[in-house]
Structure 1
Amino acid sequence: MPRKTTKKRTKKRNNIFAFKGQGISTGGQAEFFDRFEKLADIAGCKDACKLLNKSNRMLMYLLRIHLTQPRVDKGEPIDKKQAKVLAILFRSLREKRDIELIKGREKISIGDVYVIDCFIYFIRKEDSGLDLEAFNSAFKPLIDAYDELESPEDLLYGMYDNILAMLNVIGREMFSIKTEFVQKKHPVSGVFHIVKVKHHRPVKRSIAIEGKRRPIIQFGWPIANGGIWYFKIRSDEIKAIYKGEKKELEVYIQSHAIMRFEERTKPLSLLACRLFMANVFRNFKVAHVKDGKIFLPLYYGHVKIGYFVAAIIDEKVIIKTFLFITHRSTPEGHLLEKVSGLGKKDISYWRFDSVSSFLSNPPKEDSLIKKIMQEAGIHQLFDLKNVIALNSNQKDVDWAEVEEYIENGREERLQIPEEKYDEEYC
């Protein structure tokens, strides 16, 4: 997926210097420098902070970026509870400490990276008037560690894309965000990163499938500052079944497949399932073609849990269903049946077709069933219980509230009678 370009902040920050001496608010300055000194301490150069005099600190403070909560403009059809959940996730993930600044030391957050970025920008300004040799030497561990990180914008926008992937339901009314940097003097002076929530309608078509016209939805999800990103498959990846002239084919999905995905991944976190799905297709490499069908693998963490199954109809790739990995039609399911001798009814009876069966009571290492699963390539399903869920950061956010909102939506959709999937879900 193409990387988004974020707005440059140089001119905005330069103008901050014109505010000096005009009685601007400096609320939060002490907390800001406590945070910076803590980061310098993690890098092992806290004593270098003594080089920053009062004037240096003021100018550096005025260059900071305020990361704000998302706003919903009047007229945007965004549910209030959805906006609340979005704000919870923004605040939590922005301050989640999972970035390694110095190996083996305390981890830092995206917000922390922006604090370091503020310092780096300040000392590298042409008109800073600093003894650059002294600063570069004293703060070398912090500067070197920062240079090894992804840019704060890439980290922040990657977070945005992950949140959008988690909260958006493919096929329903969707939303993305639009961002900008705005310079303000009041109530606090600085550059503010403004985030506005924008509504998008899914692209729907009607197509003849097995003699009956059915609705399909273009397969994709919103990304920050980019509207909706649509997944496409290169024709050379499916040349075994596609003989047309298009270099890449648009991908569409039936509501049946969305419902099956949500149904067959229970009780795994739907938030995490959507996130892992987005990450797979953003970095999509190879489509598996078998029996004239296209199998698109899905993972939960590092564990393959199943496939979206698609066919080519009218020069489009149409995703028709989602199969759990042990289903007899998947490559692993076919091998499981072959090596175990278990038929479709047997696999259903022993509940090998359910995620929940693999979340407890793993077989012993030397057991026959463990050997069979290893031969079939499905033994990693027992690792699902060890995959770190998104709700591991309980101190920062009430993840139960977020999960409840998402899971309630899944339960409501699964109440729709199967024969009405296409009619009601689209």
Structure 2
Amino acid sequence: MARKKNNRKKKPAQQANGGYKKFIRELYDTLRLAGIDQMWDENTDADKHLMYSMRIRIQNPVACNELVSSAELKRIAMQTKRYYREPTVERKKDKFSAYQLMLLYCYLAVREQVIARNLGNKNDPVVLERREHKNKMLDQFGINCILGHFRIMIQLGSPDYKYFGLALRHAAIYKENPSMEMVPDIYGIPAEKKIICLDGHKRPAYRLGKPDGMEIFTWSVTAANILGDAYTGDKEKLDIYIQSHALKRMAQRLDLLKRPAINYALWENTITITSFVHHRGKLLLPVKIYDIKIGYLVAEVVDDVLLFKTFLFITHNFTPEGDTLRRITGLGKEDISYWKIDRLSTFVNLDTGKYRALTELFEQAGLADIFQLKDKDFDVEQMQEANLDGLMRYIQRGKNADTIQKQEFEALLQNA
């Protein structure tokens, strides 16, 4: 029997209209939040439809090589969609999401055209000022889109597994679909393993790298001139490697952090190394969480490579604070491990009111700041949200002065 033909017609117009109504409603709500809705009624229906046609949409991420699995791609898509709607850009007491920045861009772009039309001169100084505002908003939107993807790249990337890189490109624009679309291209970068000989023993080490908002991905380096007597070679920059032992110790001693949070902490503390602590013949790189020092990566130069050999919690011997603690208390290396005061969880869970004498000893040793972590959340997303400004600065480095900063946001909207 022949199949009955389906005579039902598709309703693209109604679907489009529904999308338009939602867009206009969300645009107006955003204008009210920004406090610039006073001239909304001056916009004609044609103006509003033009705003809708100028919207920018973010497509699902695309794997650009075989190193990005479908499961990883799905996770990246789910996370970044949520980040896209999360308010992160501050204005007074309110915050705006990347999506809301896009809505504001559409509004500012059409307002520029309306003013140019009313003045009869698209190069009038007022029009040029509006154009600058529009371009700054577009720039801020683009940076925040990258930021959302960048956060998940850092969470997933690990030196002993693989790294991820991002490139945000424009999709082709067709007559049937004139709105702009952005496509996140995701790259997998394989881990670079190196066998390094230390004290006659061969040790596996992995090269440190980082996703880069400007170049997709770059391998980490450190300036040789900050190493002091630890390096006597002639190279200006050294590649950075980390032993698997150091990664293991970070996981053990920062025991409240899951792997994505460890990945982020490692990135945050090694992206730009400006100095080391020289202590008892050791080269130490301070490691901080929420801008509070919790330990050190122990470094050594081997064959023109900067190698992080291990991670010492702040109470350990061979750290400035750990040596002070030992002098005050007489605790030895074994005591530190036995009483588990070489782990983050011990300090976060310590009842400082009940054990006041012990707390005072830690404070005398220079460990007072670590107790500020008691009310912190060690979920990777919370850690990143606490440092969004730092993430933003890293993405924006090298961009020109036209890149809008958070403190400029209020002034920009006041002139919208």
Give TM-score, length-normalised by structure 2.
Answer: 0.77
Alignment partner, residue 412 of structure 1: none
Aligned to 1:416: none
Question: 2:267 aligned with 1:278, yes or no?
Answer: yes
- Aligned match of 2:179: 190
Given that 2:285 and 2:296 are in contact with CA atoms closer than 8 Å, whether structure 1 keeps it comes out as yes
Distance 1:54 1:88 in 2: 34
Indicate which of 184, 204, 215 corresponds to 1:215.
204
> Post-superposition shift, 1:192?
0.6
Match for residue 95 of structure 2?
107
Paired letter, 1:387: K
CA distance, structure 1, for counterparts of residue 252 and residue 176 of structure 2 = 48
Give, as a single letter, the amino acid of the residue that structure 2 aligns with 1:341.
G
Deviation at 1:388? 3.8
Alignment of 1:8-407 (within 5 A): 28-72=19-63, 76-101=66-91, 103-104=92-93, 106-124=94-112, 129-130=117-118, 151-185=140-174, 188-224=177-213, 226-364=215-353, 367-390=356-379
Contact 2:246 2:310 (C-alpha < 8 Å) held by counterparts: yes
TM-score for both structures, normalised by structure 1: 0.75
Q: Which secondary structure does the structure 2 equivalent of 1:184 belong to? A: coil
- Per the TM alignment, residue 161 of structure 1 is displaced from its structure 2 partner at its CA by 2.3
The total of aligned residue pairs comes to: 364
Alpha carbons 1:25, 1:186 under 8 Å: kept: no
Contact conserved, 1:167 with 1:271, CA < 8 A, in 2? yes
- The unaligned stretches of length 5 or more in structure 1 are 1-21, 394-426
Question: Per the alignment, do residues 267 and 390 of structure 1 end up closer, same or farther by CA in structure 2, a change over 3 Å counting?
Answer: closer
Contact 2:108 2:134 in 1 (8 A): no
The 3 A distance-change label for structure 1 pair 186 and 69 is: farther
CA contact (8 A) 1:65 1:114 kept: yes
Offset of 1:85 from its aligned partner? 1.8
Quote the Cα distance in structure 2 between the aligned partners of 1:41 and 1:127.
21
| Residues 98-122 of structure 1 deviation map (CA, whole Å, 9 limit, x = unaligned) | 3212x12x32212111221222333
Q: Distance in 2 between matches of 1:333 and 1:259?
A: 20
Change (3 A) 1:81 1:263: farther
| Contact 2:261–2:380 under 8 Å retained in 1 | no
Q: Deviations over 1:132-187 (max 9, x none)?
A: 99xx99xx9xx989969972222222332222111112121333223211243488
1:363-406 per-position Cα deviation (integer Å, ceiling 9, x unaligned): 1399332222222222222222322444788xxxxxxxxxxxxx
Shift of the 193–148 alpha-carbon distance from structure 1 to 2, 3 Å rule, reads: closer
% of aligned pairs identical?
23
- Map Cα deviations across residues 297-322 of structure 1 (whole Å, 9 max, x no partner): 22221222222111011111111111
RMSD: 3.4
CA 1:349/1:115 → structure 2, altered by over 3 Å: closer, same or farther? same
Stretches of structure 2 lacking an aligned partner (at least 5 in a row): 1-12, 383-416
